[in-house]
């Protein structure tokens, strides 16, 4: 939902040529900060 909203807003302000690049950057940023997903369990490392 957020990705679609961002793509629409980018197109609306006139940067439609960068729409795909911004979408991929948003996805990469999300995966960097939440690699397990929105409701993923954190990995517990046993020693």
Q: How many domains does the chain have?
A: 1
On whether residue 45 sits in a domain, the answer given is: no
pTM of the prediction?
A: 0.63
* pLDDT cut 90: percent of the chain above it: 0
pLDDT of residue 11: 83
Closest to 3 (Cα-Cα) out of 14, 33, 11, 36 = 11
On whether residue 23 sits in a domain, the answer given is: yes
pLDDT in tens, 8-30: 888 888 877 888 888 888 888 88
pLDDT of residue 39: 75
∠ CA(37), CA(9), CA(1), 5° rounding?
30
On whether residue 21 sits in a domain, the answer given is: yes
Closest to 5 (Cα-Cα) out of 21, 18, 31, 23 = 23
Q: Which domain holds residue 28?
A: 2-33
Whether the per-residue pLDDT at 40 is higher than 80: the answer is: no
On whether residue 7 sits in a domain, the answer given is: yes
């Amino acid at each position: 939902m957020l990705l679609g909203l961002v793509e629409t807003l980018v197109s609306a302000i006139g940067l439609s040529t960068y729409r795909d690049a911004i979408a991929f950057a948003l996805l990469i940023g999300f995966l960097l900060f939440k690699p397990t997903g929105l409701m993923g369990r954190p990995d517990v490392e046993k020693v």
